[in-house]
């Protein structure tokens, strides 16, 4: 999919609208940023426009905004301060999403200046104008600039005013982060290098039905861990004790197992505990030995060994979702070990589809050992399902 990028347009002296994804996690008590990765990932595009003499007008959403209280909690003011520190450059912050104050500030920008205006979701307080892609709002925001650079892959699966709405009224190109997401996530879907291995984890089969089905058509192997594995194990007739299960998905899982054959690889052992707690005593058992009063909370060492063996020789690897209850230290080893196995593949394109898997790789210090870590959880999943993303479709083709 060849899309125009920020390098394909004239920037000097022009007002460049840049949709970024600054939806960063904040501490509930201190309201301080706890992970600035999404801000860091946006820096290459911002720096490039600055260096080319463009006037940078940044905007993003942050959290959900349904009340005046949410507006106070989810202001982008603190993001602007952190961005200024990372960029080493003063950022003008404008605490509104439209109007004379914003327009005057934009018109006062010099070449290479940067401005960030307030949370686009503030427009949802009155009729969900942003998230329902109000045509007048998209047209208004488009009128503030000369070119639109969409660098927010995290919202590319949403048909919002701040991406699709603006792109309907002004030339739209991708930023460098969006370009990478299209290249790697899109490449894994449309034109993967084989052998292609996908690893899926997380709690529920229902969250990833379409992803599993699409990947079984594309990949050579699909390895399944996490809470969803117990639905598949029960579908095979195994007793899973009190483990997480979606009984309404058992027939689907059974049909998938039969259809996939040896393409679908399930864990062969698990860490079983008496209760859903890090302090609960646990044991490593084969998947056919989970007791009635036990809960499976992670894949076991034999499963890690099996998955590592399946990964050998792979040329493309996509990983989405943890292998166990990663938040609990005693049940995080499956995720850590699989992460390490992928990181040690020297000749493969390795891609993490956001979420907990991305957090694990960053936390474990393996971020630089992966080809690409996606910034979009939901967008990555929909891309892996084979869906067209509205935000990507709206970018001009080369």
54 Rama sector, left if φ>0, alpha if ψ -120 to 50, beta otherwise: beta
Of the listed 204, 274, 315, 387, which one is catalytic?
204
- Nearest-angstrom CA–CA distance, 381 and 348: 21
Query: What is the per-residue DSSP string for 316-353?
Result: EEEEES-SS-TTSGGG-HHHHHHHHHHHT-SSSEEEE-
∠ CA 66-72-78, rounded to 5°:
125
CB atoms within 10 A of CB 241: 19
Of the listed 201, 355, 377, 391, which one is catalytic?
355
Clarify whether 204 is annotated catalytic: yes
Contacts of residue 6, Cβ cutoff 8 Å, sequence gap at least 6? 45, 48, 49, 149, 173, 174, 175, 176
Is the CB of residue 87 less than 8 Å from the CB of residue 28?
no
Helix axes 37-51, 77-87, angle to 10 degrees: 60
- Nearest-angstrom CA–CA distance, 210 and 216: 10
Torsions phi, psi of 397, nearest 5?
Answer: -75, 155
Clarify whether 187 is annotated catalytic: no
Q: With the C-alpha atoms ordered 372, 377, 378, 384, is the resulting torsion angle positive or negative? A: positive
Is the CB of residue 233 less than 8 Å from the CB of residue 240?
yes
Clarify whether 378 is annotated catalytic: yes
Half-sphere exposure of 234 (CA within 13 A, CB side): 21
C-alpha Rg value of the chain to the nearest Å: 23
Question: Which one, of 3, 130, 110, 10, lies nearest residue 59 by Cα?
Answer: 130
Contacts of residue 197, Cβ cutoff 8 Å, sequence gap at least 6? 219, 220, 221, 222, 223, 310, 311, 314, 316, 317, 318
Strand pairing of 147-150 and 196-200?
unpaired
Of the listed 38, 129, 218, 234, which one is catalytic?
38
Question: Which one, of 153, 146, 152, 151, lies nearest residue 170 by Cα?
Answer: 146
Active site positions, annotated? 38, 204, 355, 378
């Amino acid at each position: 999919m060849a899309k125009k990028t920020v390098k394909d347009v004239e920037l000097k002296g022009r007002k460049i609208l840049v949709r970024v994804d600054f939806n960063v996690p904040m501490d509930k008590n201190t309201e301080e940023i706890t992970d600035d990765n999404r801000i860091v990932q946006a820096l290459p595009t911002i720096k490039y426009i600055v260096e080319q003499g463009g006037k940078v007008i940044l905007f993003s959403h942050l959290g959900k905004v349904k009340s005046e209280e949410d507006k106070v909690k989810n202001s982008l003011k603190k993001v602007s301060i952190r961005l200024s520190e990372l960029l080493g450059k003063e950022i003008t912050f404008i605490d509104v999403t439209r109007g004379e104050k914003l327009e005057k500030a934009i018109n006062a920008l010099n070449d290479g200046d940067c401005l960030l205006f307030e949370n686009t979701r503030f427009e949802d307080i009155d009729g969900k104008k942003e998230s329902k892609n109000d045509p007048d709002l998209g047209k208004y925001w488009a009128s503030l600039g000369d070119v639109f650079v969409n660098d927010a892959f995290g919202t590319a699966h949403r048909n919002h005013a701040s991406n699709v709405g603006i792109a309907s009224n002004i030339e739209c190109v991708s930023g460098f982060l969006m370009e990478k997401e299209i290249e790697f996530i899109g490449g894994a879907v449309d034109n993967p290098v084989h052998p292609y291995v996908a690893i899926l984890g997380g709690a529920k089969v229902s969250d990833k039905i379409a992803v599993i089905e699409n990947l079984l058509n594309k990949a050579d192997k699909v390895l399944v861990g996490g809470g969803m594995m117990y639905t598949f194990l029960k579908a095979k007739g195994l007793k899973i004790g009190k483990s997480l299960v979606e009984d309404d998905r058992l027939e689907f899982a059974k049909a998938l197992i039969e259809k996939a054959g040896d393409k679908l690889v399930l864990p062969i052992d698990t860490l079983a505990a008496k209760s859903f707690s890090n302090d609960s005593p646990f044991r490593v058992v084969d998947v056919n030995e989970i007791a009635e009063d036990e809960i499976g909370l992670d894949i076991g060492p034999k499963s890690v060994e099996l998955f590592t063996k399946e990964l050998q020789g792979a040329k493309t690897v996509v990983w989405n979702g943890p292998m166990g209850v990663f938040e609990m230290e005693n049940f995080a080893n499956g995720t850590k070990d699989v992460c390490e196995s992928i990181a040690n593949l020297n000749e493969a394109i390795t891609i993490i589809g956001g979420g907990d898997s991305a957090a694990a790789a960053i936390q474990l210090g393996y971020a630089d050992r992966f080809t690409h870590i996606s910034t979009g959880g939901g967008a990555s999943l929909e891309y892996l399902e084979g869906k067209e993303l509205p935000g990507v479709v709206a970018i001009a083709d080369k």
